[in-house]
Amino acid sequence: MDSRNPDSADAPAGLANPGQPCSVSIIVPTYKEVESLPLLLGRLDELRTRLRLDCEVLIMDDDSRDGTTELIASKALPWVRLVVRTADRGLSPAVVDGLKLAQKEYLVVMDADLSHPPERIPDMIQALQNGNEFVIGSRYVPGASTGEDWGVLRWINSKVATLMARPFTRVADPMSGFFAFRRSLMDRAVFLNPIGYKIGLELLVKCGVTRAAEVPIHFAQRQKGESKLTFKEQLRYIQHLRRLLLFRYPRWSSILQFLVVGASGVIVNLLALTVFVSLKVPMKAAVALAIALSMLSNFALNRRFTFSYARSGGILRQLVGFIGACSVGAVLNYAITLFIATKWPGLPPQLAALAGIVAGTGVNFVVCRWIVFKAAAGTPPAASGA
């Protein structure tokens, strides 16, 4: 990992019309970043003065109570606005709120910890002026670099997260929190419900971006404060990817989740049967109890994940419907398996059983999707907050 810094103050302005003021809103989500803010605002002030930027900076603070309010008040900079958020706190919601408040033509999102170089903002704006819809300050394109103290484990974590985002975009650094776009792009945003810290990926997908560019940056280790990247945030990222899968591929992602839950039910069934047998429960009762437990497990997981949009529905009605759907699928599975085995006796019985399982599972999914876990009117499954 290269420690060279290509983002010095002598970097070219990068604006298509450097002689004309450029209208830019810079959204900076913060939580306990009071030590970093003076340095960040100093570099932004130098940039806006040198390039004559028509600039506003929105500090979206999640009620840090660390002196941020007093700091911004003491500086009294007319181009800096502090918004203290006390509800729906979190990095991504803070950014979304900031984007809604922004008034300028170009919107830039960046961190307060100085890991994102403000000096690259003009190059990002120029890339937008050249016809791109979305521009990323990237760590993974030619000319980019990261600090020497950026550990190997964090680099691996970033690369794995990037690979997990491949179903949605081919940009090299979709995990970047440093990006820019025109305010008009927000008009195309559909059901923004980000979770965690990867709001850039959310915008790429939900705004239907087809022309994205990446500007190389030097990604520096934060100079002040502590990193917000925790194991909990990594789990939230996986939850975020699931939401995006439901949005981008609603039908196939639901089927995949249904199949995964079904496979987990097989495991529950086998484990339960093993436990009951070891406890000397009579075989017929053990088999029935194991099946019942697996059905309850499948119902709970499908209600929580596959058909999460229907969680507000009556649970008892849905449980009865789910058991009924499973019974219909089981009968169809049995009938098709016997039909194929009888019609083509030369076929291996496993193939006949597989065909029956596929048919039964398909019927179960259709019945569950459209009858058992039917969405309330006006509630799109892709907008689920699960």
Cα dihedral 165, 30, 128, 169, rounded to 10, equals: 0
Per-residue model confidence as pLDDT tens digits over 102-146: 999 999 999 999 999 999 999 999 999 999 999 999 999 999 988
- Give the separation between CA 325 and CA 323, rounded to whole angstroms: 5
Per-residue model confidence as pLDDT tens digits over 57-103: 999 999 999 999 999 999 999 999 999 999 888 888 899 999 999 99
H or E element in which residue 108 lies: strand 106-109
**Neighbour-count burial of 55, counting CB atoms closer than 10 A to its CB (0-12 exposed, 13-18 middle, 19+ buried):** buried
- Give the separation between CA 197 and CA 311, rounded to whole angstroms: 26
Calculate ∠ Cα 245-227-84, nearest 5°: 80
pTM above 0.75, yes or no: no
Paired residues of 136 in beta bridges: 179, 214
Per-residue model confidence as pLDDT tens digits over 317-357: 899 988 888 888 888 877 887 888 888 888 887 787 778 77
Per-residue model confidence as pLDDT tens digits over 157-214: 788 888 888 888 889 999 899 999 999 999 888 778 777 667 899 999 989 999 999 9
